[in-house]
Amino acid sequence: MNRTQFIQAHALACVLATLGTGITPELALVQSILESNNGNSTLSKKYNNYFGIKSYGNWTGKSVNLRTFEYYDGVKTNITDGFRVYGSFYGSCRDWVKFLKTYSRYKDTIEAPTPIDQMIEIGRSGYATAPTYSSTLISIYKANKTVIDSAISGARFKIAGGTVAVSGLLYYLYVKKGKL
């Protein structure tokens, strides 16, 4: 899957998962692009983990051990680590939102007002050990901003259209048919 296809395929799930949370769907999309290599990583293709979330702490779901790398004292080090397993992209995205909302170290990320501010803050929070994490997120966002904005706008329109359709149906049933 190429990057444009990835964005178009997952924008709606990112908008739905972040709705009302303070987390921008742009952050969700860009971080999932980076962490999953546009959905082409083994972790995302086989295990639907698009955010690189490890299976530490209170995780009681399925997990898988895979090779990865972390930076320790600025040195890139190959390791094997446990990662969470999900049933779908949406499940991965929902758990990522829950993960960010659970830990206070992501408070500044969630409260940051713009997608770029959130990308800066998630790097500061220690989400990843890569020293260039925030700048890489921002580069991905800026290089794909037109496609991301269009996909997110389209997703929001679909959601709003669904709300209008449901509202219209309820109005019809209530006012016109007296059914409610």
For residue 167, is it within any domain?
Answer: yes
Parent domain of 161? 3-52+91-176
For residue 63, is it within any domain?
Answer: no
Task: Report the chain's terminal Cα–Cα distance, integer Å.
Answer: 46
> Domains in the chain: how many in total?
1
Find the CATH number of the domain harbouring 10. 1.10.530.10
Is residue 9 within 8 A of residue 16, CB to CB? The reply is no
Question: Is the predicted pLDDT of residue 170 greater than 60, yes or no?
Answer: no
Can you read off the two tokens belonging to residue 147?
């496609």
Tens digits of per-residue pLDDT, 125-164? 999 999 999 999 999 999 999 999 999 999 888 877 665 4
